[in-house]
Structure 1
């Protein structure tokens, strides 16, 4: 039996079941925010994992015109690039019913990393905070958002007292320069979910969260500083299905 933990863990038979449940959950939190504040804000991650979830969420019956969607992090590439998180979100989430949502991206058209971070920070200054829901991913090195273990400014990225909303990231393992929401925005979300798939990522996550000396995996720092208990949504990889 797995030990009790200060976070929720939901395991699913496959990625489709996970995507449907996570979409229902996020839609519920956005709807609650709409009823409470008249508007709602969601931050999502990129990569290959969330596409199913995005397609499911795009079909949920919300007042999407009053929902703002932003990114947890972004590569410093234009939206037309295959690696762009904005492109993924536009193609898989901002469609169907969710096509009416407002999108606030992190890309600003400049290759200057510091200038791009400042511009994105300014755009988010005009958004409703705290974030109503954040959906994170995680890499096999334990990074989440763009908090890479080898980032030059990792201490600043994980500083719970930073006033910045967006910071630049340079890390050899990242492959390219990135922009990321800072820890206070991510950990301060009203609802925080981690979406991971595959046995390898489950193992990385559980090792990071083991009791004892603090793990160097950034995902642990986020979970420890979260203002509400995070929830993990996990399914085996598609190629692991019987």
Structure 2
């Protein structure tokens, strides 16, 4: 897996400083070359410190578009909402000038909401400049969960880039997730993980095996998009 570059740090603060600077450079270069930049982020507990660092970077945030890799089908004011996390920890200060496209929408159910979100995503510059992913202890990334009935369709590269409604067998809430085609419609993918247990899952996922068992393999074993892994204990 020589196309995957690993970056290890002594703690999450050192990781946040380094990764924030890397993302800033990528977005800056995109703005200079194309007049706009796009960043896909993930929710959960892991990226909060990174977001707090990133929001202070000196960028022309008015030319940056931000969206989500996945979202729980909850109101955007709910504690479980990834949009709420991003608005409170990233889209403040200078970064409040960025354009944000959320995935949760007025559709009555996630299945209808997936079509709505796919259309909304056409506003975000493609290919995405940076896709920032996390990973669960079960090997899921975005909301591509092992055991989900929708996983096969989500991983099918013949399906056009877009959103898919998906459920986890273990995690609460129905969800929307970018499918694999959408995640790979990018210039760079970064997997941000912290903690010893996730490092062990990552080591398992690096080895050959069924993607359905550890869906993060779908991005680790592809050779189309440069891939970086950032880890701290």
TM range (shorter): over 0.9
**Deviation at residue 80 of structure 1 after TM alignment:** 0.5
Choose from 58, 62, 75 the match for 1:61: 58
Secondary structure of the residue aligned to 1:128 is coil
Q: Which residue of 2 aligns with 1:21?
A: 18
Q: Which residue of 1 aligns with 2:200?
A: 203
Give 1:40-79 correspondences, 5 Å limit. 40-79=37-76
Choose from 153, 176, 191 the match for 1:156: 153
Over 3 Å counting, the alpha-carbon distance change for 1:91 and 1:15 in structure 2 is: same
Choose from 5, 10, 35 the match for 1:38: 35
Give 5+ residue unaligned stretches, structure 1.
237-242
Matched, 1:90 2:87: yes
Matched, 1:106 2:114: no
Cα distance in 2, alignment partners of residues 196 and 220 from structure 1: 14
Aligned-residue Cα RMSD (Å) equals 1.3
Q: Which residue of 2 aligns with 1:139?
A: 136
Matched residues, number:
232
Give 5+ residue unaligned stretches, structure 2.
none
Can you list the C-alpha shifts for 1:34-93, whole angstroms capped at 9, x where unaligned? 011100110000000000000111000111001000000000001110000000000000
Q: Which residue of 2 aligns with 1:194?
A: 191
- Aligned partners of 2:161 and 2:180 also within 8 Å: no
Q: Which residue of 1 aligns with 2:164?
A: 167
**Deviation at residue 226 of structure 1 after TM alignment:** 5.0
Tell which deviates more after alignment, 43-52 or 110-119.
110-119
Cα distance in 2, alignment partners of residues 223 and 120 from structure 1: 25
**Deviation at residue 188 of structure 1 after TM alignment:** 2.8
Relative to the length of structure 1, the TM-score reads 0.92
Tell which deviates more after alignment, 98-107 or 181-190.
181-190
**Deviation at residue 228 of structure 1 after TM alignment:** 2.2
Cα distance in 2, alignment partners of residues 31 and 86 from structure 1: 24
Can you list the C-alpha shifts for 1:138-196, whole angstroms capped at 9, x where unaligned? 00000000000011111111112211411110222232100011111212311110000
